[in-house]
Amino acid sequence: MSSAALGSAADAAPARGGPGGRPAEPGVSAARRAPPWRRRLLGRQNQNLWFWVFVGPFFAGLVLFIYVPIAWSAYLSFFEAYNTVSPTRMVGFANYTDMLGDPNFRSSLTTFLVFAAFIVPTTFALSLATAVLVARTRVAQAFFRSVFFLPTACSYVVAALIWKMSIFSGVRSGLANTVLGWFGAESVPWLSVTNPPWYWLVIVSARLWLQVGFYMILFLAGLQRIGPHLYEAAAIDGATGWKAFRHITFPLLRPTSTAVLLLLLINAFQAFDEFFNILSSFGTYPPYARPPLVYLYYTALGQGQDFGHGSAGAIILTAVIAVIAVAFNRLFVREAD
């Protein structure tokens, strides 16, 4: 075929690139080149519509199951309500003064302070140490991450029952007493209230096993944000090991450390499952072994079902958590500045 024929065939053929053989316009977005029905779906108003289609059910569940009960509990705290969630007689702030004057409620707050004073720094130190060790591991790092994080998927109730009935059951065949028997030691009644408070070891060890892996992941995320060139420069100056951790790792982990400490403090306030499931079989709780949520549970859902005082105690506990969280955050942000 001659060159003239090829040229005429090329002129006769439609230019490719656009829909229907039309040449694509340079600089036109994919949305502009889309069919009309797709452009209607991609419009600004329809984008808002699709946002609410996907987010709406979750937002409705949040309002219905979280915010409405909180608002109703705050409303109920000003009324007298026994054996019913419908208020009967308004008593004002009498429920609040009764709860603040109740020695059992104040004792539960003391239990929280004792529990938090040990569990918060212990969990923080173990999580940070585990994260540093896993981050420096060069072999099977993903395996060790999974192994330490796996207990987080376990239910607190299930873990508390395993600790109570299998590991620290107090009988000779229990795992803890079996290990002690290998070394010639006598069996220990771990959950007895008449002996030294061994039940604290059971409760604390269960919570450590459950939550160290979660906070380890948070610290690992913070460690990945630290550039390796900082450690290389420090190694040139002879700062390795503990010196590098003290002057590089720990200061740069301050935002993560603040978040972890705040979460640990709030979780310590919310301690319920391990105390209730491990110590409830005694009928009465040992001294300083009934945290606020356990006390409020028996107040609102016990024999009296006093929802008025229970709601007032829940609001007081929420206010205490909020004040401590704000003060804690202000303190650490001021130190960072």
Task: Please write the tens of the pLDDT for every residue from 259-305.
Answer: 899 899 888 888 888 888 888 766 667 766 788 888 888 888 877 78
Any domain includes 127: yes
Any domain includes 52: no
DSSP letter at 114 equals H
pLDDT of residue 29: 53
Task: Assign residue 172 the CATH number of its domain.
Answer: 1.10.3720.10
Top mean pLDDT of 117-126, 168-177, 325-334 is at 117-126
266 within 8 A of 322, measured Cβ to Cβ: no
State the residue range of the domain holding 122: 93-336
Any domain includes 202: yes
pLDDT of residue 217: 93
Q: Would you say residue 3 has pLDDT above 50?
A: no
Q: Would you say residue 239 has pLDDT above 60?
A: yes
Q: Would you say residue 228 has pLDDT above 90?
A: no
Any domain includes 319: yes
| d(C-alpha 152, C-alpha 82), whole Å | 38
pLDDT of residue 47: 66
User: What is the CB neighbour count within 10 angstroms for residue 68?
Assistant: 11
Any domain includes 236: yes
Average pLDDT in the 304-312 region?
86
pLDDT of residue 37: 55
218 within 8 A of 129, measured Cβ to Cβ: no
In sequence order, what E strands does 55-205 have?
79-80, 89-90
pLDDT of residue 84: 74
Any domain includes 63: no
Q: What digits encode the pLDDT tens for the residues 7-50?
A: 444 444 444 444 444 554 554 455 455 566 555 555 555 667 77
Choose between 171 and 120: higher pLDDT.
120
pLDDT of residue 64: 92
Q: What digits encode the pLDDT tens for the residues 81-120?
A: 888 767 778 888 999 999 999 888 888 888 888 888 889 9
Q: Would you say residue 177 has pLDDT above 70?
A: yes
pLDDT of residue 15: 46
Q: Would you say residue 142 has pLDDT above 50?
A: yes
Top mean pLDDT of 112-116, 157-161, 191-195, 242-246 is at 157-161
Query: Among 118-127, 198-207, 298-307, where is mean pLDDT lowest?
Result: 298-307
pLDDT of residue 209: 93
pLDDT of residue 34: 56
Any domain includes 308: yes
Q: In the predicted model, what is the mean pLDDT of the chain?
A: 81
Q: Report the predicted TM-score, pTM, of the whole model to 2 decimal places.
A: 0.76
Contacts of 292 (CB under 8 A, 6+ apart): 105, 108, 109, 111, 112, 269, 313, 317
Any domain includes 35: no
For residue 158 the two structure tokens come to 């299930």
What's the number of domains the chain is made of?
A: 1
| d(C-alpha 315, C-alpha 321), whole Å | 10
Contacts of 152 (CB under 8 A, 6+ apart): 210, 211, 213, 214
Q: What digits encode the pLDDT tens for the residues 154-169?
A: 988 899 989 988 898 8
Task: Kindly state the helix (H) or strand (E) to which residue 239 belongs, with its residue range.
Answer: none
Burial class (CB in 10 A: 0-12, 13-18, 19+), 71: exposed
